[in-house]
Amino acid sequence: MTSLLRGVYIVGAKRTPFGTMGGKLKDHTPTQLAVVAGKAALESAGVKPENVDVCVGGIVNQVAAKDSPYCSRHVALHCGLPQKTPCLNVNRLCGSGFQAAVNGVQEILLGNAEIALTFGSENMSLSPFILRDARFGVKFGLQPEMECSLVATLTDMYCKLPMAITAENLADKYKISRQEVDQFALRSQKRWAEANKAGRFKEEMVPITLKVKGKEVLFDTDEHPRPDSTIESLAKLPALFKKDGTVTAGNASGICDGAGSIVIASEEALKKHNLKPLARIVGYSYVGVDPTIMGIGPVPAIRQLCEKTGVKQNRLHI
């Protein structure tokens, strides 16, 4: 929980289009996706790679590809940062990309850096199946058990609950109906459709060139949204995790592949390198909650942030 007294600014921000599970980006590693976003963010900011002091990347699934444990390091090198640049992978689960930005801010506040390249990148499609206990042999007559690393990642073994059930618990606790959840999901789909049609994502998005059947194809639109959804079509979908529950394939968070990157700079760096800020970072906050209702986390975090920074909730637009 911190209110920033010194000037820290976002000077560049880019993202890839997001692919759906098993979709167009299924074979692109988290490192490859983050390199695309990182290079574009640096270019849009007008920041030379040699002027970046630190690289921090948020990545949860560090078994998605062979080099995923080295993700931030390899992203830095592929983006042209000097070999001496320190790099760090961070994991705060769903908030890992945000945490990478927070770490970049902290490095600047501590005087360790003037410019930070930060990113979040995941390829959930590449989540492997794992054969545990095979290294030292399996007892005669026993069948090795295959584990899906994606399902394991989306399950909190402390409370023995998958993420979707924690959402169901919140629906029960706050008496949120299936219809309300579907209406909220539909609003998201329609808002995406309107924004996409108006070209509002073009400036923030960097297209990826794919090879499909030997031909180059430009992937420049988010793949996962379903803009043709209707309240009737959503209502027909069955609840997947609980009888008469609220979570369905139509209203749940998507399982996607993609990356986003922001370049963060100090006020001194703005003047030194003639950089133009997109936004000033005012503060950040994180709070732990009961793991059985994991999804409520942003509520106390936002309240704490407003209290610390003095920003009223009615001033928040997103």
Residue type, 137: G
Place of tokens 């007008």: 46
Scanning 174-266, the segments in alpha helix (DSSP H) are 178-197, 231-235
Question: How many Cβ atoms sit within 10 Å of the Cβ of residue 316?
Answer: 10
* Integer Cα distance of 97 and 283 in angstroms: 16
Distance between CA atoms of residues 241 and 285, nearest Å: 31
**Dihedral angle at the C-alpha atoms of 105, 109, 112, 115, nearest 10 degrees?**
50
CA 211 – CA 215 distance, rounded (Å): 5
Q: What fold does the segment set 2-128+253-315 form as a domain?
A: Peroxisomal Thiolase; Chain A, domain 1 (3.40.47)
Q: What does the pLDDT profile of the chain (318 residues) look like in tens digits? A: 455 557 899 999 999 999 999 999 999 999 999 999 999 999 999 999 999 999 999 999 999 999 999 999 999 999 999 999 999 999 999 999 999 999 999 999 999 999 999 999 999 999 999 998 888 888 888 888 899 999 999 999 999 999 999 999 999 999 999 999 999 999 999 999 999 999 999 999 999 999 888 899 999 999 999 999 999 999 999 999 999 999 999 999 999 999 999 999 999 999 999 999 999 999 999 999 999 999 999 999 999 999 999 999 888 887
Residue 196: CB partners within 8 Å, gap ≥ 6?
221, 222, 225, 227
Residue type, 45: A
Per domain, the residue ranges of the chain are 2-128+253-315
Give residue for tokens 């600014």. Answer: 9
Q: What are phi and psi of 136, to 5 degrees?
A: -105, 15
Other beta carbons within 10 angstroms of residue 317's beta carbon come to 4
Which residues, in sequence order, are CB contacts of 316 under 8 Å at separation 6+? 302, 306
CA gap 147, 128 in Å, rounded: 9
State the CB neighbour count (10 A cutoff) for residue 283.
18
